[in-house]
Structure 1
Amino acid sequence: MRFVEARLARLRQVLSRYVDSGALPGVVAAVSRGGETHVEVIGAQSFDGPPMRRDSIFRIASMTKPITAAAALVLVEECALRLDDPVDPLLPELADRRVLTRLDGPLTETVPAHRPITPRDLLTFRFGLGYVPGEPPIFQAMAEAGLAPGPGNPALPVAEWMRRLGELPLAHQPGEQWLYHTGSDVLGVLIARAADQPFPEFLRERIFEPLGMRDTGFHVPADQAHRVAASYLAGPTGEPVLRDDPRTAPPAFPAGGSGLVSTADDYLAFYRMLLNGGRVGADRILSRAAVELMRTDHLTEQQKRRAGPVLDEGMGWAFGHAVITDRAGMPTPGTQTWSGGLGTTAFADPAEDLAGVLLTQRAMDSRTNPAYLQDFTTTTYQSLT
């Protein structure tokens, strides 16, 4: 046994409280250790809706980012991309960048970039644009251009999105500062151009099909729409408000930062692959060296201090997701983890050979993880033998 059965029952007990109280319509939680997997299915797909299913489909928002990073590393291993080469030949919109002289200054006060942007800059969110705390003029300009980070897929076509991004100066010099999110969206475009293949097709052929992730993608076929869990925001007084976010057709911009839908078993397969050193069965998705890059903190201490409220204390940033650097909580150092702003989280702990996925329908409405995400991690770790 990899789990203590009596203590594992606490996982359902604790998560059921949030459904019984009306805080959440439902939950799917999956934990896996070694060859043993345990799944809890609680509540409904929507308030007053059909029962939740083990294969219910959720919008996983920023949990898209680790998958995009893994896809980029597939191309690095094939030498279609190189981590420290300029992206200019494939992303000419980002060539010859200008950089703001000061973050709070006008967009016209710029200097030339010290060097070109590289795939490593995109993977580590240090290419110069993204979510900027305090929303200075550059972030406001991103929002006005339809480029602000957010869950789901942008409404703009890829070419127009890139054109508008290329018209803005960078907030920081390439490699200088960590700014959340936008690097993953650009990375998806880079992957498509490097592979000469639409980004969704590349993910399907190189990641999803080998891992058996049948229900992961950027939209849901019409005959499977009944399996899609609703998505809720917090209203003015905290009440749940249904989001209008249909996933019935392929998006104009398949966002590498936040665009995917998935199921608990699908996402668990992805993190199990990382725990297995890049392998699934007899097949290899990534080399062990690439997996280690996805477990390594690539930020300096100063960059982590300036990362604002997005990275918690004791976290660094690997490729595509956070990595635990200090044992401030349950996960051990080296654990890969990230959450989606629409109410999902996942982690992979190599030291314990443990992976966990929690999918809910309530968007986060604060800078700290909701209590049920923390309780999922706590009840998982307390159940280990």
Structure 2
Amino acid sequence: MLRSLALLGAFTLALGAAVPSARAADPLPRALPEEVGMSSERLGRLEAAMRAEVEAGRMPGAVVAIARRGRLVHYQAYGYLDRAAGTPMPLDAIFAMASMTKPITGVAAMMLLEEGRLALGDPAATYLPPLAAMRVAAPDQGAEGTATVPVAQPVTVQDLMRHTSGIPYGSDRSAAYRTFPPSSIGSGTGYSGADFIRKIGEATLVSQPGTTWEYGLSVDVLGRLVEEVSGQNLGAFMEERIFRPLGMADTGFTVPAEKAGRVARPLPQDPATGRPQTVPDLSKPLGFECGGGCGRTTAADYIRFAQMLLNRGTLEGRRILSPRAVEAMVTDRLPADARGSVGVTDPTKAGYGFGLTVAVRRDARGTNLLGNPGDYSWSGSYGTHFWVDPKEEMAVVLMTLTPGETRLRYRRLLNALAYQAIVE
């Protein structure tokens, strides 16, 4: 009894003044770390490190949530919602999640698959006809070449989900790359859904479908496909089928006026380069709800989403996906001879394969993060990050706004400090 009281006292002291509000808003059942094989003392290292990052001016603030064996062991806000205004970070801060929208779009597509309304091997053009006429940049013609060849096989739903479609983010890398929009959020704000698909259909694929892993607009196209199959806007489909059943009350595509005061802001300048930095205005309406990067969420909502995946599709008695559908999502599905590397896009994912909208650890070789084969994850370009480790029965969510290269630092830091707190 005395030992339990001592542990509770240490845990309460570590959380500090945030305990009352944290317990009022816990997204999952709470546990003392020691009850699920973790260490309160070692989790204190995480708290100290996050506070040090804020004090050093490298991040404005953050909210971190860690669950093990289905129970919440760490849920803490650090620093500032808006450092320039001196506003403290609340637990229910709302963040632009950028590409952490993608796994949610993946779940939406898998729900339609489970209903027999689409299949992984279906050509995407079956649902989005403007994609039927796409051609591929001819190989070995140089960066400025514009010659094209026919597709050897059509872009499939699976290609969209695993980034083997040949649809990149637009850049100046070659003439073919310049035919695509440069970003998800830019697409969502700059096009209607129909115009976006028309633009993609007129572009030139940069590789033959199914042959090369390349990060890009694939999941934005997938989101439009979900809309066409379901007959609903993506946000409406997700609200009805994912957010409401999971209790994700603050997740969606735009922030209503009554929640605007909870939106997190980045530091005005990148601490590494001194350049100005911003994130999109989440209150502005979108041309279409882009499934690749236009979402907003809270740490509380996303840890519930991650726990649902860890539970193989269910949370608190509500089933979102079948266990087999989740297994399909979190299994490496890249062909053995596929070109390209997840680690090129995200150096913290060196050695990872890719499933259906999430990166998947193959084994310990070639990786530079702690973890286990089969753990899966993804991140957002503004600093958000999550991962699930089925072997450790652990889900971790980081919500912060560090849109520069500093974001890679926090993926590594949180990885090390979460795993070192596991003691059994």
- Whether TM exceeds 0.5 here: the answer is yes
The AA in structure 1 aligned to 2:127 is: L
Q: Secondary structure at the match of 2:75?
A: strand
| 1:315 equivalent in alignment to 2:349 | no
Q: Secondary structure at the match of 1:323?
A: strand
Q: Which moved more, 1:310-319 or 1:288-297?
A: 310-319
Which residue matches 1:339? Answer: 379
Post-superposition Cα deviations, 1:223-261, rounded to whole Å, max 9, x if no partner, equal: 110000013575597236352621114311211111101
The reply to whether residue 140 of structure 1 matches residue 140 of structure 2 is no
Report SS of the residue matched to 2:82: coil
Following TM superposition, by how much is the alpha carbon of 1:108 offset from its aligned partner in structure 2, in angstroms? 4.0
Partner of 2:81: 45
Question: Would you say 1:357 and 2:393 are equivalent positions?
Answer: no
Change over 3 Å in CA distance of 1:350–1:7 after alignment to 2:
same
Structure 2 CA distance for partners of 1:295 and 1:94, relative to 1, 3 Å = same
Q: Does 1:110 align with 2:153?
A: no
Contact 1:158–1:252 at 8 Å: present in 2 too?
Answer: yes
Q: Distance in 1 between matches of 2:221 and 2:169?
A: 14
Instruction: Specify the SS of the correspondent of 1:60.
Output: strand
**SS of the residue 1:370 aligns to:** helix
Contact 1:230 1:242 in 2 (8 A): no
**Which among 88, 98, 110 is matched to residue 73 of structure 1?**
110
Q: What pairs up with 1:53-202 in 2 under 5 angstroms?
A: 53-102=90-139, 104=142, 108-131=146-169, 135-142=173-180, 147-151=181-185, 153-202=188-237
- CA distance in 2 between counterparts of 1:244 and 1:281 reads 34
What residue identity is the alignment partner of 2:136?
A: V
Task: Classify the secondary structure of the residue corresponding to 2:338.
Answer: helix
Cross-structure match for 1:21: 56
Task: Give the deviation of 1:358 after TM superposition.
Answer: 0.7
Q: Matched residues in 2 for 1:358 and 1:274: separation?
A: 17
The structure, 1 or 2, with the larger RCO (C-alpha pairs under 8 Å, 6+ apart) is 1
What SS does the aligned partner of 2:130 have?
helix
Structure 1 distance, partners of 2:295, 2:228, is 19
Tell me by how many angstroms 1:375 deviates.
Answer: 1.0
Residue 358 of structure 1 aligns to which amino acid in structure 2? L
Q: Distance in 1 between matches of 2:105 and 2:88?
A: 31
Q: Deviation per CA, 1:207-235, whole angstroms, max 9, x where unpaired?
A: 11111110001111101100000135755
Native 8 Å contact 1:216 1:266 kept in 2? yes
Look up the match of 1:377: 415
- Opposite residue 126 of structure 1, the aligned amino acid is T
Give yes or no for the alignment of 1:8 onto 2:48. Answer: no
Change (3 A) 1:244 1:346: closer
One-letter identity of the residue aligned with 1:187: L
Provide the aligned length of Structure 1 versus Structure 2: 379
Aligned-pair distance for 1:181?
2.5
**Which of 291, 305, 318 lines up with 1:270 in the alignment?**
305
8 Å contact 1:233–1:363 — kept in the other structure? no
- Given candidates 253, 267, 291, the residue that maps to 1:218 is 253
Q: Which moved more, 1:234-243 or 1:186-195?
A: 234-243
Q: Residue 99 of structure 2 aligns to which amino acid in structure 1?
A: S
Say if 1:237 and 1:314 are closer, same or farther in 2 by CA, change over 3 A.
closer
- Secondary structure class of the residue paired with 2:413: helix
Indicate the RMSD between aligned Cα atoms, in angstroms.
Answer: 2.1
1:294-317 Cα offsets, whole Å, 9 max, x none, are 211111344355556115322011
Listed as ranges, the matches of 1:285-324 within 5 Å are: 285-303=320-338, 305-306=340-341, 309-311=344-346, 312-324=349-361
Which aligned pairs between 1:207-286 and structure 2 lie closer than 5 A? 207-232=242-267, 234-235=269-270, 238-239=273-274, 241-243=276-278, 245-286=280-321
Partner of residue 30, structure 2: none
* Mapped partners of 2:102, 2:400: distance in 1: 18
Bigger fraction of residues in helix? 2
Percent identity over the alignment is 36
Secondary structure at the counterpart of residue 386 of structure 2: strand
Cα distance between partner residues in 2 of 1:322 and 1:132: 22
